[in-house]
């Protein structure tokens, strides 16, 4: 079956008890045992739940992986992926990544005795150069939040495979519709399912997909013991989102291409970052390892913060909010929002300026988005 069919069919067979087309929401904490020492297929919803299991199976199929795990948030999934590390281990991280991941690394995992090195993710050799005897994991995010740098996944996977390192990829921005890192040599794929997986800005959830049975055993144990699992209703909302993932991503990307091309031709904009533009420094890499260019467009404005504020105040179609990946268009300010935990020096070093603005392109009419941006830019 092809992607759009699997998104609707795999893990979502009609309910055998009632014939319901939709997977039921098994909103229960407990399941009856068949006898002393004889549990049924489910015991307790923290350890397993039929609705969550359906979501995990469906997402794993879309990532072309064997095992899926659903969590209460994207950050819970990231924390779970890091849980295979031990005191004294070393991790190499592409320096352009989500600010929440950076905060978890700096404020939690470093305190647990895990060491981290940040490298330029656009240069595969940087990962090889940073390897130590204690290196256990490489962490990449591609496209990266918010500057949309790409990591050459196959090149980095070749390095990690030779050295026996675990390669983790955050695939949130691309979604499995546009990119399937497991097929490119990645060991662990992480998602904030809050974003494109659910797609409607109405649920907080995260997910991990792996192929390796041993990794799955480790991560599954952590999921059960730590307990940061996706609830039945959240899992059901994610399942509902998956059914329209293919058609949503096509419209998201079509709109993003139009908006990016329009912005690139506007002299009021200092620069535009979007992998679908030929001006993007990694445009050819995007064409090689992705099936589409995604729905995030980042622009930079010249001038002081006051101009940025006037731009935000002039928007109506774009809502000022911190997330992304919903059907509605959103706009955020990474300097004060997603990457506020970074020092001003670190933000400037990796290219996040006060004038950096991230657009999450929705599925409204592109003409209305462009008219809205035009009106807001006139205020700068």
Query: 316-321 contacts: CB < 8 A, separation 24 or more?
Result: 316/372, 316/375, 317/364, 317/368, 317/369, 317/371, 317/372, 318/359, 318/369, 318/372, 318/373, 318/376
Asked whether the beta carbons of 64 and 183 are under 8 A apart, the reply is yes
SS3 234: helix
| β-pair type (166-170, 188-192) | parallel
Q: What is the pLDDT of residue 350?
A: 85
Residue 337 token pair:
């929002």
**pLDDT, tens only, 361-371:** 999 999 999 99
pLDDT, tens digit, 9 for 90 and up, residues 259-273? 999 999 999 999 999
Residue 186's CB: how many other CB atoms inside 10 A?
29
Between the alpha carbon of residue 59 and those of residues 82, 109, 129, 208, 256, the distances in Å are 20, 28, 34, 9, 24
Q: What SS3 class is residue 298? A: strand
- Cβ neighbours of residue 112 closer than 8 Å, sequence gap 6 or more: 87
pLDDT in tens, 215-267: 999 999 999 999 999 999 999 999 999 999 999 999 999 999 999 999 999 99
Q: Is residue 75 within 8 Å of residue 206, measured between CB atoms?
A: yes
Reported as a single tens digit per residue, the pLDDT across 166-196 is 999 999 999 999 999 999 999 999 999 999 9
Angle among Cα 68, 69, 75 to the nearest 5 degrees reads 130
**How far, in Å, CA of 322 to CA of 229, rounded?**
23
DSSP, residue by residue, 70-111: EESSHHHHHHHHHTT--TT-EEEEESS--HHHHHHIIIIITT
Could you report the per-residue pLDDT of 23-64, keeping only the tens digit for each?
Answer: 999 999 999 999 998 888 999 999 999 999 999 999 999 999
Domains of the chain are: 3-243 (3.40.640.10), 245-377 (3.90.1150.10)
DSSP conformation letters of 235-251: HHHHHHHHHTHHHHHHH
| CA distance to 18, 21, 68, 107, per residue, from 27 (Å) | 16, 17, 20, 35
Contacts of 73 (CB under 8 A, 6+ apart): 192, 194, 204, 205, 206, 228
Closest alpha carbon to 314 in 256, 260, 268, 270: 268
Q: What is the pLDDT of residues 136-170, one digit of tens each?
A: 999 999 999 999 999 999 999 999 999 999 999 99
254 phi, psi to nearest 5 deg:
-60, -45
Please give the sequence-ordered ranges of beta strands (E in DSSP) within the chain, or none if there are none: 67-71, 90-94, 115-119, 135-141, 166-170, 188-192, 206-210, 271-273, 296-300, 319-320, 330-332, 356-360
Long-range interactions of 19-22: CB distance < 8 A, separation 24+: 22/236, 22/240
CA distance 315 to 296: 17
Mean predicted confidence (pLDDT) in 334-353? 87
Relative to beta strand 319-320, strand 330-332 is parallel
d(CA 357, CA 311): 10
Q: How far apart are the first and last CA of the chain?
A: 49
- Residues labelled as active-site residues: 46, 98, 170, 195
**Mean pLDDT score across all residues of the chain:** 96
Q: Can the peptide bond before residue 363 be classed as cis, meaning omega within 30 degrees of 0? A: no
Alpha-carbon distances, residue 42 vs 7, 46, 216 (angstroms): 24, 10, 19
pLDDT of 254: 98
* Helices and strands counted in the chain (H then E): 14, 12
Token output for 301: 């404005």
Question: Does the structure show a pLDDT above 90 at 349?
Answer: no
């Amino acid at each position: 079956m092809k992607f759009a069919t699997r998104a609707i069919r795999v893990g979502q067979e009609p309910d055998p008890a009632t014939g319901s087309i939709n997977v039921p929401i098994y909103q229960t904490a407990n399941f009856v045992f068949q006898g002393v020492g004889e549990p049924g297929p489910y015991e307790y919803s923290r350890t397993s739940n039929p609705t969550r299991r359906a979501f995990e199976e469906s997402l794993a199929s879309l990532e072309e992986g064997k095992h899926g795990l659903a969590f209460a948030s994207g950050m819970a999934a990231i924390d779970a992926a890091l849980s295979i590390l031990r005191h004294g281990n070393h991790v190499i991280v592409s320096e352009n990544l989500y600010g929440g991941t950076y905060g978890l690394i700096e404020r939690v995992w470093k305190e647990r005795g895990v060491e981290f090195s940040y490298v330029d993710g656009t240069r595969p050799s940087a990962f090889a150069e940073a390897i130590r005897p204690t290196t256990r994991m490489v962490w990449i995010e591609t496209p990266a939040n918010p500057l949309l740098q790409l990591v050459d996944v196959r090149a980095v996977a070749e390095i990690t495979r030779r050295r026996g390192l675990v390669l983790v990829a955050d695939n949130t921005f691309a979604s499995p519709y546009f990119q399937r890192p497991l097929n490119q040599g990645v060991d662990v794929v992480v998602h904030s399912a809050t974003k494109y997986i659910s797609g409607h800005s109405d649920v907080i959830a995260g997910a991990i997909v792996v192929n390796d049975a041993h990794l799955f055993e480790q991560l599954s144990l952590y999921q059960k013991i730590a307990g940061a699992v996706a609830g039945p209703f959240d899992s059901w909302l994610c399942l509902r989102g998956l059914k329209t993932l293919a058609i949503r991503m096509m419209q998201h990307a079509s709109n993003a291409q139009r908006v990016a091309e329009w912005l690139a031709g506007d002299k009021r904009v200092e620069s535009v970052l979007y992998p679908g533009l030929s001006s993007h420094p990694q445009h050819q890499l995007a064409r090689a390892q992705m099936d589409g260019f995604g729905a995030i467009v980042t622009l930079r404005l010249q001038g002081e913060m006051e101009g940025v504020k006037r731009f935000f105040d002039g928007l109506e179609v774009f809502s000022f909010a911190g997330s992304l990946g919903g059907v509605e268009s959103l706009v955020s300010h990474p300097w004060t929002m997603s990457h506020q935990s970074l020092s001003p020096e670190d933000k400037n070093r990796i290219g996040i300026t006060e004038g950096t603005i991230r657009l999450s392109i929705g599925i409204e009419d592109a003409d209305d988005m462009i008219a809205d941006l035009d009106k807001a830019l006139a205020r700068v």
